Structure 1
């Protein structure tokens, strides 16, 4: 009886090992080619109706203006502020002629560790003006 159990256990173990070594995809996976969006983020932003990322003096003007309102708006996260600024510009197209909705959305988007619920509607309205004048004046 012991021999029967041993043979059965060895057979089961061999089957598990054989199945573990099998693969339905013998070729190694290669990374996909970059998409247009990852290859050219400004083209993707343009297609989404957003402005290109500000560079140089335009970027500095945007960050300086935000820090002049309140240093906690940027809170040392320049790239994050730039991303939020680009997104803020989209509010002019998503909610045209509705400054109250634009300010509400801006307040929700612009949070910080010390202002997790936003900086308030008055500050949000100032952020909107800064984004509009420095990043997307044509919106």
Structure 2
């Protein structure tokens, strides 16, 4: 019986020691984190966009025309999230630049990117093709 009691006491002691050793000092961790992330200049951001195959961020007028064209296809494409629609379009431009002649692939990627709460799997190939035309016309006409 003493062996069992001793074994249980040793195991409990080891567990308490382990738990105490795992207790981190949050103040030390917070003190070692950098206070501010490095920032990029506008020129550096544009250079990074270009290197990634993305066109420059569209002007307000271009954005408005782009959103209007998408809404003309179906208002659920943008579903009130203009910035998200622009980001998805710019990402589509990257695909257009890397595979300009693979229309089937571009339509599939466009369908995957332009989903919405009511169309979580995309709007279908027919609508994706229309979206792709709008993206090419407004966001990356040179690709």
TM-score, scaled to structure 2: 0.73
Q: Which runs of 5+ in 1 are unaligned?
A: 1-15
2:74 paired with 1:93: no
Structure 1 range deviating more: 112-121 or 28-37: 28-37
| Matches of 1:70 and 1:33, distance apart in 2 | 39
Aligned partner of 1:83 in structure 2 is 87
**Aligned-partner SS, 1:96:** coil
| Matches of 2:80 and 2:36, distance apart in 1 | 34
Runs of at least 4 residues of structure 1 off by over 6 A?
none
The answer as to whether partners of 1:37 and 1:44 remain within 8 angstroms in 2 is no
The alpha-carbon deviation at position 95 of structure 1 amounts to: 1.7
Aligned partner of 2:16 in structure 1 is none
Deviations 1:89-112 (A, max 9, x none): 112122221101100110011100
Q: Which runs of 5+ in 2 are unaligned?
A: 1-19
| Matches of 1:24 and 1:81, distance apart in 2 | 41
Q: Structure 2 vs 1, CA of residues 94 and 37 (structure 1 numbering), >3 Å: closer, same or farther?
A: farther
Aligned partner of 2:108 in structure 1 is 104
- Paired residues in the alignment total 124
Aligned partner of 1:117 in structure 2 is 121
**Aligned-partner SS, 2:58:** coil
The alpha-carbon deviation at position 55 of structure 1 amounts to: 1.6
TM-score, scaled to structure 1: 0.75
